[in-house]
Amino acid sequence: MTTTILRSDDLSCPSCAATLERALTALDGVERARVHVSTGRIEVEHEPDRAGVDRLIATLRGAGYGARRSPF
């Protein structure tokens, strides 16, 4: 299990956060997702061999939100 930090500048409300958390946790290999609306920070605990970073980002984009990997 690893934790990956992503960023999105498209978050504007708690409903956005809930939508993204549901989309991410529905992925096989994702244990937990936590979205911080005020900072755009998205923390994902996942198994990288089952749910890699590219798949996490694709899921967020598929839900209608921009996303990128964060260096911190």
Q: What is the CATH number of the domain that holds 33?
A: 3.30.70.100
Q: What is the pLDDT of residues 50-65, one digit of tens each?
A: 999 999 999 999 999 9
* CB distance 31 to 11 below 8 Å: no
Give how many domains the chain has, as a whole number: 1
* CB distance 2 to 31 below 8 Å: no
Structure tokens at 13: 């409300």
> Which domain range does residue 27 map to?
2-69
CA distance readout (Å), 21 to 10, 56 = 14, 11
pLDDT of the residue at 22: 96
* CB distance 3 to 44 below 8 Å: yes
Task: Give pTM, 2 decimals.
Answer: 0.91
